[in-house]
Amino acid sequence: MSVLASARRSSANFTTARPAMLAFVAAAIGGMAASAHATVTNGSFEVPPVGGSFATFIGGSTVINGWTVVGDRVTVISSSYVESGITFNSQDGGQWLDLTGPSSNQASNGVSQNVATTIGQLYRLSFYVGSASNNTSILASTVDLSIGGGGRVSFTNPTAPRTTMDWQLFTADFTATNTLTNITFFNGSTPNNNLSGLDNVTLQLIPTPGAAALLGLCGLLAARRRRA
């Protein structure tokens, strides 16, 4: 059976489930510069190694290091895996995550992780969405993201080559309201699409304007001292 083969299901629900608890700004590449790293464990889905093919992990599994599988199932896929004439190359390292899960495609399929955060600190979550196409059952990917239990936000990479994966960088900024912030990625693709590619999830701290101004002031004072 094809790893990307589907079971059809009712359409995904992308509506906001509850009022946003976080200042949540989603954006494409660009914007203000981010600084020091915070930690997402196994954001590149390299652990556990799945050999040259793929491995499926069912809901509740914590075998994908750092992540808990939610919904029905998800699949970690090797860069060397080939199907329908497409080489499913990763964006980073040798593996990536297909959120659709083989023979599943449920909108509830995903992976979840609690990351340590500082209340009031602004963060930037970065990740890549991978797309490819066979024009029938493998199509441009959508990944949904929920931060801190907030509503799902969809990120689609419309570039879907016929022989390889295309990976597009997306970012989502949020201000932490707790010392642990939940990050959950869901399958956002339509039920007839067997691809929702995710790789290279990272988190960075972003200096607040006040902190940036303070740093600038410290630099100015240091320069004056050097001149004195």
Q: Enumerate binding residues for Ca ion (CB under 5 A).
A: 44, 90, 92-93, 95-96, 199
| Pick 97 or 140: Cβ nearer Ca ion | 97
Considering Cα of 7, then 8, then 9, then 15, what sign does the dihedral take? positive
Tally of CB atoms within 10 A around 196: 30
Minimum distance between the CB of residue 196 and Ca ion, rounded to whole angstroms?
Answer: 15
C-alpha distances (whole Å) from 42 to each of 39, 202, 209 are 9, 9, 30
Minimum distance between the CB of residue 76 and Ca ion, rounded to whole angstroms?
Answer: 9
| Pick 130 or 150: Cβ nearer Ca ion | 130
Q: Residue with CB nearest Ca ion?
A: 44
DSSP characters for 102-146?
TTT--TT-EEEEEEE--TT-EEEEEEEEEE---SSSS---EEEEE
Picking from 137, 67, 73, the residue whose alpha carbon sits closest to that of residue 99 is: 73
Minimum distance between the CB of residue 34 and Ca ion, rounded to whole angstroms?
Answer: 20
Number of residues that make up the chain: 228
Minimum distance between the CB of residue 166 and Ca ion, rounded to whole angstroms?
Answer: 15
| Pick 66 or 207: Cβ nearer Ca ion | 66
| Pick 72 or 199: Cβ nearer Ca ion | 199
* Beta bridge pairs of residue 159: none
Minimum distance between the CB of residue 22 and Ca ion, rounded to whole angstroms?
Answer: 26
Radius of gyration for the alpha carbons in the chain, expressed in angstroms and rounded: 19
| Pick 107 or 165: Cβ nearer Ca ion | 165
Given its phi and psi angles, is residue 60 left (phi above 0), alpha (psi -120 to 50 degrees) or beta?
left
| Pick 171 or 202: Cβ nearer Ca ion | 202
Minimum distance between the CB of residue 103 and Ca ion, rounded to whole angstroms?
Answer: 23
Minimum distance between the CB of residue 150 and Ca ion, rounded to whole angstroms?
Answer: 26
| Pick 160 or 165: Cβ nearer Ca ion | 165
- Tell me which H or E stretch contains 87: strand 86-87
Q: Which residues, 6 or more positions from 89, have their beta carbon under 8 angstroms from its beta carbon?
A: 79, 164, 165
